Amino acid sequence: MIEESSNNDFNHKSEKTFIKITANLRLNDLSATMKMFDNFNEIGRAFARMQLIMANGGISSTKMIREDEVTKLAAGINLHIDKKFLESVSKLIDFGMSDLLEANMVTGGCTFSAPMKREFMRESAEMILYKYSRVTQQKFSVVGMVTQRGSVANVDAVGLPDVKDADGIKAAMRTLALHLQTVEQFFVGPLANEIVLDPIAIYSAI
């Protein structure tokens, strides 16, 4: 049996094995996001430089564009951010989500997220984004199984054993894994209104 979002009696808390969500698709490509953060200031400076060149007579102009002018303009249009801040954001994304490619859909007051394997896709993520945009105009359907619900409490750090009290290396590694789970939940745990799906199929609803 499949719980379908298109049905009037749709219940996102259903105990049915499969769930089918039909809505506009939001594509979240963390690899592309990482690349943008890593090159954000360079991209901003390139954009600002082109604006200054065009404002000063185009590429045929003999006026020299100073580097401080480029940086000032980039900062003025919010395309230049503190380097340390960018490095910190990039590090957090890399730790928590790395190469994640995710399909996001919002319906019935809930966000449904489905992580996808790039190697199983018929086309590259770049081609899909080029064709459909990061937020699609047409509706898609995702069929999958629920793996996590943000409304369900996870085991937190309270009451977890201390690594120094572990009985041997094996116990210490298991304890570290438990503590790591609490850190991972902070970075990648589902939001309160989010449901994570193991996708079986994603296709155009048209």
**Number of domains present in the structure of the chain:** 2
Asked if 77 and 15 sit in the same domain, the reply is yes
Query: Distance between CA 62 and CA 64 in Å, rounded?
Result: 6
| pLDDT for 183 beyond 70 | no
178 and 161 in a common domain = yes
Cα separation, 161 vs 189, in Å, equals 21
Nearest CA to 204 out of 26, 29, 28, 25 is that of 25
Q: What is the pTM of this model?
A: 0.72
Question: What percent of the chain lies above the pLDDT cut of 70?
Answer: 81
Residue 160 and residue 149 in one domain: no
pLDDT of residue 168: 65
Cα–Cα distance list, 44 to 35, 47, 59, 68, 92 (Å): 14, 5, 19, 13, 22
Same domain membership, residue 62 and residue 80: yes
Q: Which range has the worst mean pLDDT, 28-37, 102-111, 151-160?
A: 151-160
Residue 26, pLDDT above cutoff 90: yes
74 and 162 belong to one structural domain? no
The pLDDT confidence band at residue 142, using thresholds 50, 70 and 90, is very high
Domain of residue 56 covers: 2-154+189-204
